[in-house]
Amino acid sequence: MPASTGPHAADPTVDTPKIITSAALFEGSGEVLILHNGVPYRLRITRQDKLILTK
């Protein structure tokens, strides 16, 4: 397997993003609320199976 070649490939201080499937996040619901700095944001799945985040 070739070594990573991205801009942070050799930088161990850069965190790898956490991957969460939408199925695990939504758990059968059509929307979830995310609190960021005490402000709720609504993440929902549209009829076209897209994600929309609103404040």
Report whether 40 contacts 34 (CB < 8 A): yes
Per DSSP, the residues of 17-30 read PPP--HHHHHTT-S
Report whether 41 contacts 33 (CB < 8 A): yes
Question: Who wins on pLDDT, 2 or 32?
Answer: 32
Query: Could you state, in order of their start, the residue ranges of all structural domains in the chain?
Result: 26-54
Q: What pLDDT score does 21 carry?
A: 97
Instruction: Please tell me whether the overall predicted TM-score, pTM, comes out greater than 0.85 for this model.
Output: no
Tens digits of residue pLDDT in 8-52: 566 777 889 999 999 999 999 999 999 999 999 999 999 999 999
Q: What pLDDT score does 14 carry?
A: 82
